[in-house]
Amino acid sequence: MNKLFLFSIILFSVFLSFGQATPTDFLSADFHKERREAVREKMPPNTVAVFFANAERNRANDVDYIYHQDPDFYYLTGYKEPNAVLVIFSEVQENAEGILYDELLYVQERDPRAEQWNGKRLGIEGAKSQLGFEQAFNGADFSKSGIDFKAFDKVLFFDFQNDYRDKRGDADLFDLIKTFKQKTDYPSDYNATKQQLYSMIKSVTSENRANVVQTVKRYLNFDDDLKEDELLKNFVAADDDNLVNDIKKRVVLKLGANNLDSTMLSEIMSTLRETKTEEELTLLKKAVEISAVGQVEVMKAMHPNMSETEIQGVHEYVYKKYGAEYEGYPSIVGGGNNGCILHYIENNKTEVGDDLVLMDLGAEYHGYTADVTRTIPANGKFSPEQKQIYDIVYNAQEAGIQASVVGASFRAPGEAASKVVTEGLLALGIIQNASEARTYFPHGTSHYLGLDVHDKGTYGPFQANTVITVEPGIYIPEGSDCDKKWWGIAVRIEDDILITDNGPVNLSAMAPRTTEAIEAMMKQPSPLDDFKLPKLD
């Protein structure tokens, strides 16, 4: 054995004993700290904001779904475990020992037995050393904390969905929320939507009254609790200014009954998360590129005997190969008529045959998710009808992408795309008048993209460093009121567009989009051509 070889073995053993190679390209502790500072800057004086980690969800018996952190919580902390709470104060606080702080993080306590079963926990030390928190505690300390929530003008929080369970132990999410409710005198009949509607009524003007009445009416229609509320009922029925002013006064009194605010955090987080920092864009671009490469590999591997779930598996293998942890949303692979179901996730057709296959697939890389759709002919060649529909969607998408510029309205890509789809369907005689277009293009064209596939944002004019999808589609289910030759054709093309001061940038451009480029790519050999598995009985 030569010396260099021996040295390598020793080095490798030392490496193994100190830990394993794991990814390091996560958002930095400085990013999360800076984002907490950005939240603090948007909080009114003398307020406190409270964020809870996502709930764990049971799949069956003693097996939970894979845990996924709440995106706001992740954005502000980098903490990936459940049963945690983050508290941010608008101003520096001082505790009994004279220690100054403006944020506190409560995390899962280290527990060797639990960690043997379910993996390592960061604990207080990790929260300090890896996430950069100066004040980190175990969850059980939350109930002992001296935070006097009632001393603040407002307690900002996201209202609870009541979809969390009380587990063993005294510091799970259930207990943390219970403590919060006790400390804030949270009314048992608290209704976040009612609070939101009251806030709207509080600031209603004669100019926007008609709109606010419409909004309140909409909510009254589907929430029984709201339907019984005297103030809301009176507001909707009010027909003179004196009456409205009287209702406004009563609403102000109701809102002043406690200091809970479940509206403002949503506005703050939407504003912050709409535009991405460079650090975020690095991860988001990676998620999108990985997903585009996945589409390319699927194009090469595709043939009519493949099943929908097998196609899904090819894509998921590629993104795992690049280190993406999850899919950003359940993968959609629909052959023929299945593509007409917008969020089709059964993916259980055993052979896609000669149909078009609609594949809406997005990898999640270190929290950031892509959302890319390609629609391709399983046999490698678009039929004349498939191509005619495809080209309308392609032109609609091009128009939508061109409209995705700084300063444009959020609705601009959708308006541009809808116009092209409508004209195309009229020209082919699939519809007879423009109002029918919605039958075949029933969804929106764009949404924000980031930590959530349908990410948070303000829906105001586009700003630089915002990422959106542009995803028009035409879906003609069997039995539609048009010539049979169109039945079963479903096309969606979806790309992830970075809006910049120099115009839109297509982050998923690596996956071919024109019919010619798709057909050419499908002729390329695939490593899976030689992948043979044994036949099972």
When asked if residue 360 is in the footprint of Mn ion (CB under 5 A), the reply is: yes
Q: Which of 339, 343, 340 is nearest to 329 (CA)?
A: 343
- Figure out which of the listed residues 79, 329, 382, 448 binds ligand GLY, where binding follows CB under 6 A: 329
Q: How far is the CB of 471 from ligand GLY (least distance, A)?
A: 6
The encoded tokens of residue 42 equal 């948007």
Give the whole-angstrom CA distance, residue 437 versus residue 421: 7
The C-alpha angle with vertex 161 and arms to 159 and 162, in degrees rounded to 5, equals 115
Q: From the CA atom positions of the chain, what is the Rg in Å?
A: 27
Residue closer to ligand GLY (CB basis): 70 or 371: 371
Give the whole-angstrom CA distance, residue 305 versus residue 483: 28
Residue closer to ligand GLY (CB basis): 447 or 456: 447
Residue closer to ligand GLY (CB basis): 179 or 295: 295
Residue closer to Mn ion (CB basis): 308 or 494: 494
Q: Which of 301, 372, 327 is nearest to 530 (CA)?
A: 301
For the segment 361-380, give every residue that binds Mn ion (CB under 5 A): 371
In Å, how far are 121, 164, 242 from 71, measured between CA atoms?
19, 17, 44
When asked if residue 327 is in the footprint of ligand GLY (CB under 6 A), the reply is: no
In Å, how far are 191, 258, 268 from 161, measured between CA atoms?
11, 20, 20
Residue closer to Mn ion (CB basis): 81 or 360: 360
> In this structure, are residues 304 and 353 in contact, taking their beta carbons and an 8 Å threshold?
yes
> In this structure, are residues 319 and 363 in contact, taking their beta carbons and an 8 Å threshold?
yes
Binds 324, which of Mn ion, ligand GLY, none (CB < 5 to 8 A, cut-off by type)?
Answer: none
When asked if residue 371 is in the footprint of ligand GLY (CB under 6 A), the reply is: yes
Give the whole-angstrom CA distance, residue 497 versus residue 406: 12
When asked if residue 471 is in the footprint of ligand GLY (CB under 6 A), the reply is: yes
When asked if residue 261 is in the footprint of ligand GLY (CB under 6 A), the reply is: no
Q: Residue of minimal CB distance from ligand GLY?
A: 360
Binds 172, which of Mn ion, ligand GLY, none (CB < 5 to 8 A, cut-off by type)?
Answer: none
When asked if residue 319 is in the footprint of ligand GLY (CB under 6 A), the reply is: no
When asked if residue 175 is in the footprint of ligand GLY (CB under 6 A), the reply is: no
Helix (H/G/I), strand (E/B), else coil: 458: coil
When asked if residue 469 is in the footprint of Mn ion (CB under 5 A), the reply is: yes
When asked if residue 455 is in the footprint of Mn ion (CB under 5 A), the reply is: no
Query: With CB under 6 A, what is the number of residues at the site for ligand GLY?
Result: 7
Binds 329, which of Mn ion, ligand GLY, none (CB < 5 to 8 A, cut-off by type)?
Answer: ligand GLY
Strand partners, 368: 365
Give the whole-angstrom CA distance, residue 413 versus residue 402: 8
Q: How far is the CB of 40 from ligand GLY (least distance, A)?
A: 32
Residue closer to ligand GLY (CB basis): 329 or 390: 329
Instruction: Give the residues lining the site for Mn ion (CB under 5 A).
Output: 360, 371, 469, 494
Instruction: Give the residues lining the site for ligand GLY (CB under 6 A).
Output: 329, 360, 371, 447, 453, 471, 494
